[in-house]
Copies of this chain bind each other. A is one copy, B any other.
Amino acid sequence: MVQRDSIAPGGIVGILGGGQLGRMIAMAAARLGFKTHIYCPEEDAPARQVAYQWTVGAYEDIPRLEAFAASTDVVTYEFENIPAETAKLLANRTLVRPHPAALEIAQDRELERKFLTRIGVPVSPFHIVSTRQELDRAVDAITLPAVLKTRRGGYDGKGQAVLRKAADADSAWEAVAGAPSILEKFVPFKKEISVIIGRGQDGQYAAFDPSENRHRDHILHQSLVPCDEPEPTMVAAHQHAIRIAEALDYVGIMAIEMFVLEDGALDPLMINEIAPRVHNSGHWTIDACHVSQFEQHIRAICGWPLGTSARHSDALMQNLIGDEVLEWRTFMTNPQLCLHLYGKNPPRPGRKMGHFTRLLPLGTSRSQINSG
């Protein structure tokens, strides 16, 4: 069903955040005939280079945010750590999608764990930790090994510490700087996968095939599709994603990272994290699918029907982090790679500068993918 209140081409899509995700959302919006307005604190943001309008402003600058909201037909965000207050202020003046409520849950690992537990998707046992004493009690309750994670603000392995023995508690508590945290039981897993799911305003959903994610230095290095797991595991992954999106009455693209547990586990999957936005592990969809995660996000937030999430190819996406981007001559010389550079400079260590996708015919064996 076409929504009566869908936003027509020519409308203005506001995007909070000017990084590469905002940039790729802006390009997808332009493809569908929308104009874009970027709002971010940085002068020289990658998304600005492809946007119709932009405002440089702090996320606490109420008059600027109000003017930004007034210029848009819908506002979305490229990352989940914008202040929930900012999203609420905007939501009083324009359409904000996904709902600010999804932000609040994703920003707070305690709310997120409790939400996931309540709706019955599998998460590892956890314990809230607000003081050093509570950490000891949590270690007793959960049993080690376990991972201590700050409730708020963690990403790319920051704000985390592994506890293998009780004596690790002191250094772990130091690593999280005494911030409100959660201790999660470490469950041995074979691999991390993620499901990128889009949900429309009408409740329709479209989930991309799960990808296998490989990390290096706690930063996503590669995503591979398909993820080489048996069909029932894939179906379960999609079912978990749908349950989460439904329970949030979500509109837009959401990423759900899951662990595939060692053979013999009661449940083959465990939810690691949800991100209420387009996601690095879905970049392969630009080149391997008819409709990318970015276009799907635009379709959803503008009240359009979703496109197909079908793939025409197998794919391996690889991030170009920091200095790796200086090898662009090598990547561009390989005619089979779809290269994406984010217009960032300089290539600081750990900075995501670009990515490439290697496309392979459907049904390519995993050993062939790995050998490329």
User: Which chain A residues in 186-212 approach chain B with CB under 8 Å?
Assistant: 206
User: How many copies of the chain does the oligomer comprise?
Assistant: 2
Question: In the assembly, what is the distance between CA of A299 and CA of B335, in Å?
Answer: 11
For the complex, is A115 an interface residue (Cβ under 8 Å from B)? no
Whether A35 lies near B49 (C-beta < 8 A) is yes
Whether A308 lies near B336 (C-beta < 8 A) is yes
Q: What residues of B have a CB within 8 angstroms of the CB of A308 in the complex?
A: 335-336
Tell me which of B305, B306, B325, B329 contacts A2 (CB under 8 A): B329
* A359 in contact with B31 given A9-B341, A335-B305 (CB within 8 Å): no
CB of A256 to closest CB in B, whole Å: 22
Question: In the assembly, what is the distance between CA of A335 and CA of B312, in Å?
Answer: 14
User: Which chain A residues in 3-37 approach chain B with CB under 8 Å?
Assistant: 6, 8-10, 23, 26-27, 30-36
Whether A359 lies near B2 (C-beta < 8 A) is no
Whether A345 lies near B290 (C-beta < 8 A) is no
For the complex, is A342 an interface residue (Cβ under 8 Å from B)? yes
Whether B332 lies near A299 (C-beta < 8 A) is yes
When C-beta atoms are compared, the residue in chain B nearest to A26 turns out to be B50
Question: In the assembly, what is the distance between CA of A340 and CA of B290, in Å?
Answer: 12
CB of A73 to closest CB in B, whole Å: 14
* A305 in contact with B290 given A49-B35, A313-B312, A345-B10 (CB within 8 Å): no
Number of interface residues of A (CB under 8 A): 49
When C-beta atoms are compared, the residue in chain B nearest to A302 turns out to be B332
Question: In the assembly, what is the distance between CA of A143 and CA of B299, in Å?
Answer: 56
Tell me which of B27, B307, B332, B333 contacts A27 (CB under 8 A): B27
Q: What residues of B have a CB within 8 angstroms of the CB of A52 in the complex?
A: 48-50
For the complex, is A41 an interface residue (Cβ under 8 Å from B)? no
Question: In the assembly, what is the distance between CA of A324 and CA of B49, in Å?
Answer: 31
For the complex, is A282 an interface residue (Cβ under 8 Å from B)? no
Question: In the assembly, what is the distance between CA of A87 and CA of B8, in Å?
Answer: 38
Q: What residues of B have a CB within 8 angstroms of the CB of A333 in the complex?
A: 2, 305
User: Which chain A residues in 273-301 approach chain B with CB under 8 Å?
Assistant: 287, 290-291, 299
In the complex, per-residue mask of A331-352: 1 if CB is within 8 Å of any chain B CB, else 0:
0110110111111010000000
Q: What residues of B have a CB within 8 angstroms of the CB of A336 in the complex?
A: 290, 308
Of A10, A49, A340, A354, chain B has the most CB atoms within 10 Å of the CB of: A49
Whether B332 lies near A304 (C-beta < 8 A) is yes
Enumerate the 5 nearest inter-chain pairs by beta-carbon distance, A residue then B residue, closest first.
A33-B341, A308-B335, A49-B52, A9-B341, A30-B50
| A interface list, Cβ under 8 A from B | 2, 6, 8-10, 23, 26-27, 30-36, 48-52, 206, 287, 290-291, 299, 304-308, 312-313, 325, 328-329, 332-333, 335-336, 338-343, 345, 354, 359, 361
A-B contact pairs, 19 of them (CB 8 A): A2-B329, A23-B30, A26-B50, A27-B50, A30-B49, A31-B340, A32-B339, A32-B340, A32-B341, A33-B343, A35-B343, A50-B50, A50-B51, A290-B336, A291-B335, A291-B338, A304-B332, A308-B335, A308-B336
